[in-house]
């Protein structure tokens, strides 16, 4: 894969500004465009606010906000960037038009990704002359801190281009998660939407206030979710039988607490749920991302939960493969969260 030196950003709102910040922090040049009258000033103001945070988490050699150039047109970004991330408002007509314009101007080997949180790539790539390079790269806010990016293609997206995008996002210190099917909302937003729906029901039924429901998450399961997913938590909790035992004893239909309709616990549901690492006895195991993602993840935890004293325990984690020269150990945080 070619080395990416210039990252293009189309749309410089909160998400686009986050992409610009992440790319700049990795030492890349950034070309940006937004048609808003004060877009350039807002972008530079956003970067000025988040740059001290990025300095604390660790910048790559050569990283500087001076590497940002705000362009006069979408075409100028498309011609000069080696990867383009579109972060325009969530309107399918707008995104379809924008991707056709970007595709018409960008060199043939440049990948084009959309930050959409739920629109399907098959729809907005439909008017492109080269739809094989158009895909979704859905990040999470704040983009400059959270490592997850959901990557999926449309009906006409080339599988090799998906792999190229995954490699590029990984070079940006992210955790690219390939979504195997085009589904509205993708993966994480589907899960968040289910929780959000329950929150609205509980508030509507006068069971709890929004503040109480936030406390129910952030002082309990939210801390576990920061390190493990729900499936791994349930698998380990149901010792010794793991996920299979958990599903037998906690069939959702037996606990009608939720307003969501539970699926029937038939074999075709049980088998995938118990596959892979959840197929055997419950045992402790750690999520193991690549080192760059691990550093980003640890720094995010520290900034969110322990913004002050934990920095006295800082140490260098020089990594020649990623050129990451400053990071913070996550282990003190993990001990605090798991003890």
Q: Are residues 295 and 173 in the same domain?
A: no
Asked whether residue 160 falls in the same domain as residue 295, the answer is no
pTM (two decimals): 0.78
pLDDT at 305 over 60: no
Out of 178, 213, 244, pick the residue that ends a domain: 178
Q: Could you identify the residue written with the tokens 């000069």?
A: 80
DSSP state of 4: P
What confidence tens digit (pLDDT) does each residue in 146-202 have?
A: 999 999 999 999 999 999 999 999 999 999 999 999 998 999 999 998 898 888 888
Closest among 106, 161, 102, 105 to 132, alpha carbons compared: 161
Is 159 among the domain residues?
yes
CATH code of the domain in which 55 resides? 3.40.50.720
* Lowest-pLDDT choice from 50-59, 231-240, 248-257, 297-306: 297-306
Residue 54 is assigned to a structural domain of this protein: yes
| Residue 83 located in a structural domain | yes
Domain count, the chain: 2
Reported as a single tens digit per residue, the pLDDT across 82-94 is 999 999 999 999 9
85 forms beta bridges with 9, 113
| Domain limit, last residue, from 143, 161, 178 | 178
- Domain, as residue range, for 311: 291-338
235 within domain boundaries:
no
Check whether residue 33 and residue 170 sit in a common domain: yes
Phi, psi of 150 (to 5 degrees): -85, 125
Q: Which of 117, 149, 178 represents a domain boundary (last residue)?
A: 178
Mean pLDDT of the residues in the chain:
81
| CB-CB contact of 32 with 155 (8 Å) | no
If one compares 105 and 247, the residue with the highest pLDDT of the two is 105
């Amino acid at each position: 894969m070619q080395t990416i030196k210039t990252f293009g950003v189309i749309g410089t709102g909160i998400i686009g500004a986050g992409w610009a910040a992440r790319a700049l922090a990795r030492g890349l040049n950034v070309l940006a465009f937004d048609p808003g009258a004060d877009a350039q000033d807002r972008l530079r103001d956003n970067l000025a606010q988040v740059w001290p945070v990025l300095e604390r988490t660790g910048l790559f050699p050569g990283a500087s906000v001076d590497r940002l150039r705000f362009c006069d047109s979408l075409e100028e970004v498309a011609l000069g960037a080696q990867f383009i991330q579109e972060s325009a408002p969530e309107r399918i007509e707008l995104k379809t038009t924008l991707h056709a314009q970007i595709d018409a101007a960008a060199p043939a080997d440049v990948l084009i990704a959309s930050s959409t949180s739920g629109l399907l790539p098959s729809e907005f790539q439909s008017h492109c002359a080269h739809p094989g390079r158009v895909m979704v790269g859905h990040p999470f806010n704040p983009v400059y801190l959270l490592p997850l990016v959901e990557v999926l293609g449309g009906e006409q997206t080339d599988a090799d281009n998906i792999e190229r995008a995954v490699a590029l996002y990984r070079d940006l210190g992210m955790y690219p998660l390939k979504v195997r099917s085009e589904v509205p909302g993708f993966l994480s937003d589907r899960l968040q939407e289910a929780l959000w729906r329950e929150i609205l029901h509980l508030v509507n039924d006068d069971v709890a206030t929004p503040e109480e429901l936030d406390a129910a998450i952030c002082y309990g399961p939210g801390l576990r979710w920061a390190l493990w997913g729900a499936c791994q938590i349930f698998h380990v909790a149901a010792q010794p039988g793991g996920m299979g035992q958990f599903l037998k004893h906690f069939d959702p239909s037996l606990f009608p607490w939720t307003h969501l309709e539970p699926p029937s616990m038939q074999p075709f549901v049980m088998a995938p749920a118990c596959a892979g690492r959840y197929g055997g006895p419950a045992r402790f195991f750690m999520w193991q991302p690549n080192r760059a993602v691990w550093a980003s993840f640890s720094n995010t935890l520290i900034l969110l939960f322990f913004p002050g004293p934990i920095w006295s325990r800082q140490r260098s984690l020089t990594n020649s493969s990623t050129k990451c020269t400053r990071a913070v150990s996550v282990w003190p945080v993990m001990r605090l969260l798991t003890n």
